[in-house]
Structure 1
Amino acid sequence: MTNLAIAANGLRKSYGDKVVLDGVDLAVPEGTIFSLLGPNGAGKTTAVKIFSTLISADAGVIHVGGHDLATDPQAVRAAIGVTGQFSAVDGLITGEENMLLMADLHHLSRREGRRTAAELLERFDLTEAAKKPASTYSGGMKRRLDIAMTLVGSPRIIFLDEPTTGLDPRSRHNMWQIIRELVSDGVTVFLTTQYLEEADELADRIAVLDDGKIAAEGTAEELKRLIPGGHVRLRFADPAAYQSAVLALREVTRDDEALALQLPSDGSQRELRSILDWLDSAGIEADELTVHTPDLDDVFFALTGGGDVPDQSKETVR
């Protein structure tokens, strides 16, 4: 279990005849962001509940924070923090009172609890609102308070179950910055999210869960390379230049009306340089070169049976 914050082998969980997790293996290195993706009902929240000792697994060997989940759940609880899909904030009391309540639950002394609450409220830019009822907070403020409450016990592993659902884009980006700062302090973050952009932006490694099994796992770039369909599109303003390129190239898809050619490509720097070198050596100048590469949306659709891989432009180089 050295240098692994979470390790699961053969994780299984069923509810009656419904198999939710079917032999899941996961390894999450310390001090990283690990994202678990999957369609609704894939078992993401069930996995979080098992890892955080809220429910038990039917089978599997699981270590969290170096502790065996089955034999030492109390040690696991001491090492983790959990922010669920739904806020744990009590709207009837103030933000400060929510923090002090968590300090009491962690058996901190009155002085230590007040110091910790004040530091975390300042860290999450909630000092001015600390004396106000939490029911008056915006969605982003409540989420920040939720995570601040999670940090009262100084956990080394934090489970964030869809932490930005329902937030506006600005609040979502603020939350991303908070997550990055947590990891820079050495915390391990286990993230489930509905937003593929979020996993792409934050995660060091991503696992795609489908039908109770891990369909694929790797970095965002590794997962994108699993999906075919990448290509480079050359568009010409001069019909003569277009015809010259048609004659010089073989494995291309033509669009005579748009004066455009499509070449298969993995979007790598090496292939892009090769295409540009070829254009220069042939004395052909394209007016626009567009690189089309699969993104995590494409990966998600392909791996979870969501339909055909969409064909979208991801980046344009002129």
Structure 2
Amino acid sequence: MTVFIFNRKFMTSILPLFVQRLATTIPYAVLFAFPVDGSTSRENTRIHIWVVAAVIELFGPFLWVPAQLILLRKVGNAHRTALINPAFLLESDIEHMAERTGALYVFALGVVAVSFLFTMKNSGADSVVGVMILALLIGYNLNHIYFRSEAGSHYKHALRRAWYTGILWTFFHYPLVIATLSLGAIMSPMINIRFSAAEQIVPVETLHSDYKNIYFGSLGVCYLCFAALKILHQEHPDQTPDKTKQPDNKLSDNSRGDSGGGGTEIAESKQLIKKKKHKRNKVPNLSHNTRIALVAALTCLIFAVGFGVSEKYWSVDSMFGFGAAVTSFSVFMMECMDDYFFFS
């Protein structure tokens, strides 16, 4: 807003963004007219206003770009130059934006990390220590999968690829963060159920179907968002090494001793050839379609097992064990068989 008011050079280019931000703040300002008074009707009204504000903020970037296109058709040549010429556009730090978005996901993972911090006696910690370790393992694996995928060096980042991939990359972080928050939030009552059963606390709370659906649904959405973020990135063909090409072991004519330093050149060439022979030859990475098929199969497995099996066949230990197994398998494939996995 400060730039819009005091720097006329950028007023035209950031006008759509200014309007979008202004429309986003209006619902929050309306909340002051409905203070909390303890009544149910007032609470429902505030929830509806919060939903409207969240929807406007979520889909605002998708309205900002069409607004710029409309302005390009309606305004004159001078304003059109201000919308297109880079000299009249504000620069955006892509690296800084990617780091801040990754930090937001780390904050969401903090809910998973503290999901097992609940009120209980110190002597009762031993009864749920295994479940607590599985919960922490799931959070660590999700963190590893996200940053292993986003920190790759063989792709063009979605924020640099095109304007729509940048918007979609930001958009898919919303369901990813929400799913991670709901996953951590549902872990806390599930661990309480496990603790009550272990300590034989009466009445013993049972595992409801809602817990199971939220748990597996959140985990599946996380994997679905991981796949979507990976699809939005683009690999650099000119920077991707040809892993199927074998190294050329032939010596040059100058290395055969034709010159005075031929002996040294021959020794260096032989040493270079020896190093190339001992170098591990990687198998070519899977194709783009195969990577999509792999992540789709893994996501479908989570949804099918989670929603297809009744809650009476599940326990807190088995649900946490399944989540830890799937995420640990993903990490294992990334680190030990990175040439075959879709995240690499």
**Higher share in helix:** 2
- Computing the radius of gyration from Cα coordinates, the structure with the larger value is 2
**Higher share in strand:** 1
- TM-score norm. by structure 1 comes to 0.21
- TM-score norm. by structure 2 comes to 0.20
